[in-house]
Amino acid sequence: MARLRWPRRNRLPQEVKARLHTAPGERVLAHAPAEEGTAVATTRALHLPGGASVPWEDIDSARWESDGLVLVEADGTKHLIALAAPGPLAEAVFDRVNATILVSHYVTLTEDAEGTKGLRLIARRPPGGDEVTWRVRYDDGVDPADPAVRDHAQRWLALLREQTGV
């Protein structure tokens, strides 16, 4: 009787594995060749083709554009990973970033003819971690130094912490 074989997974190339600096217990979830090299998604971070890594909880947003996958870190640093198609790497990025979000709540500050302006309060936790970090993301045109805005954000943060226990 012929022996059935499971198809082999798309294995990480040896040269990529050699340069990848992972922590104990960190596993590779997906990888994809990009113009700049290979991007690797692990259980803890996205390892960029240039060698840097960005922990999942530090990625503020990820979106697919015609040029590839665009990431924005919480500090505003942008990365473009030039991929041919979204595929498993993009799926892993979206899943992992969303998995770090515990609470996300939008607070409207003003509403006028130009639209709604406000802020978003976000609680995030790293994979496998216990420490929760709260961040405030302000809409364009909202001054985070304005005492009224800061007071509003602090009151909402206290309310959300009480309601969610986070």
For residue 68, give both structure tokens: 């590839």
Residues 31/19, Cβ–Cβ less than 8 Å: no
Higher local confidence (pLDDT), 4 or 150:
150
- CA angle centred on 79, ends 74 and 84, rounded to 5°: 135
Q: Could you report the per-residue pLDDT of 33-91, keeping only the tens digit for each?
A: 988 889 999 999 999 998 899 999 999 999 999 889 999 999 999 999 998 888 899 99
Domain spans, the chain? 14-99, 101-164
Place of tokens 């060698």: 51
As assigned by CATH, the class of the 14-99 domain is mainly beta
SS3 60: strand
Query: Is pTM beyond 0.85 here?
Result: no
Largest CA distance in the chain: 77
Average of per-residue pLDDT across 98-117: 91
pLDDT at 116 over 60: yes
Sign of CA dihedral 156, 157, 162, 164: positive
pLDDT at 141 over 80: yes
pLDDT at 10 over 90: no
Split at pLDDT 50, 70, 90, the class of 94 is very high
SS3 4: coil
